[in-house]
Amino acid sequence: MVIQRTRSPFSSITYKTEELSRWINKVKRKKSTYAHQKRRNFLVFALLSSSLQKLQCDLKETQEIRKKRWQAFNKPLPEPRKKPVPIMEVEESEPITNWDPVICEELDRSISEFMSKLKEIKTPLIR
């Protein structure tokens, strides 16, 4: 016997929000560990900073969309009128970026591989 769970209209956004926050934590950890190294490449540091900023912007957008949907859901019902009032549709400015778990794992692997290759490169220190 298979039991199917009913999904709320906000469950997909919740999953994306949790996934984005996990990614933000991972990038923050990598950035902080890389910042404390003696020999650091500013290109990698800039890459981590820009990806962190992009993830935070995406998280903020999804949270704002969720907030708008929740506010539209919680509006009090108007008093009944004699003439029916046309229903206005909620417009979204841009579609939500889908973060596929497979792509996320692949990106994590590629970033880790990139960081390991950077550690292998030894450049002469000029002072």
What tens digit of pLDDT does each residue of 10-32 get? 455 556 788 888 888 999 998 88
Tokens of 102: 């497979």
CA atoms within 13 A on the CB side of 49: 7
Q: Which residues of the chain have pLDDT under 50?
A: 1-3, 5, 8-10
Domain boundaries, the chain: 11-72
3-state secondary structure of 38: coil
Output the pLDDT for position 37. Answer: 82
Neighbouring CB atoms inside 10 A of 98's CB total: 8
Amino acid 102: pLDDT: 75
Question: For 74-123, where are the alpha helices, taking DSSP H only?
Answer: 101-120
Q: Which two structure tokens, joined as six digits, stand for 20?
A: 């984005």
Residue 99 CA to residue 96 CA, distance in Å, equals 9
Q: What ranges make up the beta strands (E) of the chain?
A: none
Interatomic CA distance for residues 65 and 58, integer angstroms: 11
